[in-house]
Amino acid sequence: MKSLCLVVVALLCLVSVAHAAKIDTSFRYATVETEHFAIHYHQGLEEVARKAAGMAEDIHAKLTREFQWQPAEKTQVVLIDDSDFTNGLAITIPYNTIYLQVVPPTLSSTLGEYDDWLRVLFTHEYAHIVSADPARGYSKVTRAIFGKPLPWMDPLSVVLFLATAPPNTFLPRWWHEGMATWAETKYTGQGRGKGSYYDMIFRTAVAEDNLPTVDQINGDVPDWPSGHLPYIYGYRLQRYIADTYGSDVAGKLALGHAGRVPYTISRPAKTNFEGKTYREVYQDMIASLKDEQSRRIGTLSRQSFTPLTTVYDEGENLAAPRFSPDGGRIAFTRRDPHDHTTVIVTDASGQEVASFRRQLSDGTLSWSPDGRKIYFTQAEVNRGFNIYQDLYVYDLDQKSSVRLTEGERLAEVQLSPDGKLFAGVASSRGSQNLAVMAADAPQGKLVPAAVTAFSEERVSAPRFSPDGRAICYVLTDNAGTSTLRIYDVAGRTDRALLSAGNSIAYPAWSPDGSVVYYISDETGVFNVFAYDLRERKSYQVSHLLSGALQPEPSPDGSRLLLAKYTSRGFKIAQMRIDRAQWSEQRGPALPLSRALPAAASKPAGASAAALAAPAPTAAAYQPAKTLLPRFWLPRLYADGPDGTVVGAFTAGADVLGYHSYALSAAYSSERKRGYYTLLYSNDSFYPTLTLRAHAEPFLYADLYQNGNDYWELNRGVSVEASVPINKLESHYRLLAGYELVDQQALTPLQPNGTLFGVPVFQGRRDNLYAGVDFDNVLKYPYSVSSEEGRRISLLYRYYSRDLGSDINLSEYSATYQEYLRLPIRSPRHQVVYLRLAGAFADGDLQFGQQAFQLGGPPSDLNKYPLRGYPVRSMTGKYVATGTVEYRAPIMYPLHGIGTVPAFAEKLHCALFADAGQVWDDRRSFHADETRVGAGVELRADVTLGYWAKVTPALGFAHGFNKGGEDQIYFTLYLGL
């Protein structure tokens, strides 16, 4: 679950000029309000919203008392069912907002152990709000003056932002996620900290001596458990702090940091930890963790562990193994930080025989009865906005996939042994149910029918019995109870086999149908159990140190496949089935740290008053309530060599992102005139509409490469419509607009309107424009660059006197980028990057401001770089450039220095060659006039300020032709 207070995210979400609507335009939102919350929800989520409203004030009372902070404003809560994958987002700038995707979490998400999934999610995200929002001392003063600001696009506002934003915003991820996970654990009956999944991670890390250092949870380590590190070890650190230094220390820390300058995190720590820093306390926590888990390992070691044999271990997260019907092959899903998610098919010994790619998914698979096809679900963008799973089939002979359903929100689909019926989990509006559908329906006509009617509960892991007459599955309610159930297909009846207050998951039938194997943590470890249907008894089948998930019996009943846990992820292993070793008596057990479910299924921890309170009245969503400006910051910039411009800016957006804007206004005392910029985006319908208006000074530095800067007043208004066509791994954008532009000199010109004898354009440049962008580029956690795919951008502008312009001109530009991954295993992630870019203008083009400019190192402002030549050293009506780069990793430091806000991820290099030429009507294109440069760049991927990922590069380039030079330069890449 992502819970971000990251300002960059807030900026993008709230004030960017969006390329696409953020929320499905078919959603119609309503709002219910409580004393401290405004809860927004769309049709179909009425019950979820009512439940959220009923628990919200109870959670508020507990967490504000814990963190000693009362937000001054209502927290906006958005409930949305736009994904089949549980997630949450908390933002405190410019106002407190929580976004919750209302699908029950799966066990494999680490959130799957809960007593009430909505309460756990709500508590976690609101803990972010009350721990990140506090202001004290200087920050209380700046908030009273400026509000909670976002930065503008200049260095001064970034500095002011650092000085005025809530200081806790800039704390490390492990602080934010540790606090929220600790609060979720303390204030719900379950929470991740009380779960067997987290305990499995800690126990195995100690057993295998694979514990992260504090700098590693500070940074972004790509290895397992990768993005979960701040949650897991941040929680464990906060738990240790509370246990050691007092139950009220969370609030003391939140307030202590709230009065400190960003990144000065040691003083509040030393004040509350008897002079120790976070780094020292983390080391104490690791020692305590080792001691605790060593005792637990000792308890488990009193009995011999079940022998497991590794079948396949190449990859990090290997999930859902499935035997082919004849038992000769094994299929499973492999997730790995080095590569794309893939379905692997091996022979029975684990030797790979086939593979195919898979997108974001639940990981499960199902073979066809003849063993020639594999059925699977995966996500794709639905209606341009939503991430929903559908059913696909991969033909092993044809080596191709076909999509079978469209927008049906299916998961964990299994085909019956006779191949006539599918069973799966169908999600809708916060609820999951068992669904079946005929397998012989025409392609595209497969429609699941729900056969259960559970509300706001989780259904998981349906499996057909060997005769196809029954489906076993697990129901997890909102009181902490898991129930193994059987649905009779012919009789359409449903009954419970067994229920428990601990986790029950992943049922699988024995080949003769007499036993259902399943995973349970009743011993404190995820072990294999078996329920004998004739005896109506449950037996413990395995006794493991770490744990395992997803059992799969072989067709001959002799062995079980498992996803075995290690400190480096899940691996495929197998164990021998020997019924003589099964036991009704449980082996050595660890105590469960969570409370068992109450007899009544009321929400855990809810007060009687909260349960008895009447449901608040709903009203239609009103964007204006969250649209008004919440902050401002001053601006200071120049409009000439000696000119100073003073101004201010603000920005805002309604909580659903239907309307967003940014506004800047400034005044130049020297020129006695004002400047402004307005950006407005409307995402309430399709397509996105954007309005831009501005009157700002603009600098053409060294306009004609003669050492003279030229300042102009650039005024304009534009209206644009953009249409996104999105897929999960590819994106198109069509755009069109009309722009009115007026350019007037601010720099004094000679009487004939020239600058040192060279003509300068003044007047109107109104134009129509249209373009298309395409992107299917992919990269992975260990990548030093994008590795696969291409980017294409085409843009056409038409200037005409008939449109009010002072020129007639057609301008065409295109960029093509290709990423080619080299099939080299050591070192991996070597890439060849190709880039072709060009433009030409047909018509009136005789002024320097409109000429295409070539030269210099790459940057966001330099459209046509040419390393080895001075910036803008060549200009003309036509430009063509090409680049080829060989990119390769050198090393992966994956370390920082304690809690210092800097983390070194990767060191890599690029060998490059650039070529380019500009020409015009007076100077035609000649191949021998092409400028060529080549060189090398040393690059590093680093995380700064705990959040910002940047790639600084130091380069050397040599230009081989006229005007070329030896350059040593520094540049900064954002997202290579």
Residue 756 lies in a domain: no
What are the beta bridge partners of residue 583? Answer: 540
Residue 797 in any domain: the answer is: no
Q: Which two tokens stand for residue 973?
A: 């890449």
CA-based radius of gyration for the chain: 31
Cis peptide before 94 (omega within 30 of 0): yes
Alpha-carbon distance of 532 to 549, in angstroms, equals 20
- Contact at 8 Å (CB) between 774 and 788? no
CATH number for the domain harbouring residue 68: 1.10.390.10
In a domain, 713, yes or no: no
| Tokens coding 294 | 């060593």
Q: Tell whether 218 and 272 lie within a shared domain.
A: yes
Q: What is the pLDDT of residue 920?
A: 82
DSSP state letter for 159: H
* Same domain flag for 295 and 316: no
Sign of the torsion formed by the C-alpha atoms of 142, 147, 151 and 154: negative
379 and 280, same domain (yes or no): no
Indicate whether 363 and 419 sit together in one domain.
Answer: yes
Based on the domain organization, do 90 and 231 belong to the same domain? yes
Look at residues 580, 608, 631 and tell me which one is the last residue of a structural domain: 580
The pLDDT assigned to 363 comes to 95
Local structure of 945: helix, strand or coil: coil
Listed residue (275, 250, 277, 276) closest to 265, CA to CA: 277
Grouping H, G, I as helix, E, B as strand and the rest as coil, residue 120 is helix
Residues 39 and 150 in one domain: yes
Question: How many whole angstroms separate alpha carbon 644 and alpha carbon 654?
Answer: 34
Residues 315 and 435 occupy one common structural domain: yes
Residues with Cβ within 8 Å of 337's Cβ and at least 6 positions away in sequence, in order, are 222, 223, 226, 316, 780, 781, 782
Q: Is the pLDDT of residue 359 over 70?
A: yes
The range of the structural domain enclosing residue 224 comes to: 7-17+26-301+616-620
Residue 757 lies in a domain: no
Tens-digit pLDDT profile for residues 471-503: 999 999 998 899 999 999 999 999 999 999 999
E strands, 313-372, in order: 317-323, 329-336, 339-347, 352-357, 365-367
Span 543-582, pLDDT tens digits: 999 999 999 999 999 999 999 999 999 999 999 999 999 9
Whose tokens are 């790639």? That residue is 951
Determine the pLDDT at residue 524. Answer: 95
Q: How many residues does the chain have?
A: 976
Q: Is 153 a residue whose pLDDT tops 80?
A: no
Q: Which H or E run includes 48? A: helix 46-67
CA distances, 362 to each of 88, 422, 424, 778 (Å) = 18, 16, 12, 20
Q: Angle at which helices 249-258 and 46-67 pack, to 10 degrees? A: 80
**Interatomic CA distance for residues 724 and 687, integer angstroms:** 8
Residue 917: name the closest of 876, 857, 969, 974 by CA: 876
294 and 316 in one domain? Answer: no
- CA distances (Å), 866 to each of 139, 786, 917, 930, 952, in order? 46, 21, 9, 11, 18
CATH number at residue 360: 2.120.10.30
From the list 360, 349, 343, 353, the residue with the least C-alpha distance to 401 is 343
Give the pLDDT band of residue 7 (cuts 50, 70, 90).
very low
Average pLDDT over residues 97-108: 93
- As given in the structure block, the two tokens for residue 104 are 């029950």
DSSP label at 40?
A: E
- Residue 155 is predicted with a pLDDT of 81
- Residue 506 banded pLDDT, cuts 50, 70, 90: very high
Task: For residue 561, tell me if it sits in a domain.
Answer: yes
- The answer to whether residue 276 is domain-embedded is yes
Boundary-marking domain end, from 529, 562, 580 = 580
Backbone angles phi, psi at 652, to 5 degrees: -170, 170
Contact assessment for residue 523 and residue 504, using Cβ atoms and an 8 Å cutoff: no
- How does residue 873 score in pLDDT terms, banded at 50, 70 and 90? confident
Nearest of 168, 165, 140 to residue 150 by alpha carbon: 165
Q: Are 976 and 955 in contact (CB under 8 A)?
A: no
Mean pLDDT value across the chain: 92
Do 371 and 291 lie in one domain? The reply is no
Tokens 């899940």 belong to 570
Q: In the predicted model, what is the mean pLDDT of residues 368-396?
A: 96
For residue 196, being part of any structural domain is answered with yes
* Amino acid, res. 853: Q
536: left (phi over 0), alpha (psi -120 to 50) or beta: left
Tell me which of 154 and 496 has the higher pLDDT.
Answer: 496
Give the C-alpha separation, 70 to 130, whole Å: 7
Average pLDDT over residues 124-152: 96
The angle subtended at Cα 866 by Cα 861 and Cα 870, nearest 5°, is: 85
- Residues 332, 422, single domain; the answer is yes
Number of domains in the chain: 3
pLDDT tens for residues 660-710? 999 999 999 999 999 999 999 999 888 999 999 999 999 887 666 666 788
pLDDT band, very low/low/confident/very high, at 614 (cuts 50, 70, 90): low
Average pLDDT over residues 380-395: 95
d(CA 965, CA 53): 67
On whether both 239 and 347 belong to a single domain, the answer is no
Element (H, E) at 697: strand 688-700
Average pLDDT, integer, range 70-87 = 96
515, 530 contact by CB (below 8 A): yes
DSSP 316: S
Q: Are residues 238 and 360 in the same domain?
A: no
pLDDT for 15 beyond 90: no
Last residue of a domain, one of 620, 642, 672: 620
Is residue 203 in some structural domain?
Answer: yes
Query: How distant, in Å, are the alpha carbons of 56, 117, 920 from that of 40?
Result: 13, 19, 57
Question: Residue 179: which H helix or E strand, with range?
Answer: helix 173-186
- Chain centroid, CA 431 distance in Å: 23
Please tell me the predicted confidence (pLDDT) of residue 490. 93
Residue type, 221: V
The C-alpha atoms of residue 745 and residue 584 are separated, in whole angstroms, by: 89
* pLDDT confidence of residue 444: 66
The pLDDT value given to residue 20: 36
Exposure string of 514-537, with b = 16+ CB inside 10 Å and e = fewer, is ebbbbbbbbbbbbbbbbbebeeee
CA distance 458 to 104: 6
Categorize the per-residue pLDDT at 13 as very low, low, confident or very high, splitting at 50, 70 and 90. Answer: very low
SS3 758: strand
- Supply the pLDDT for residue 486: 98
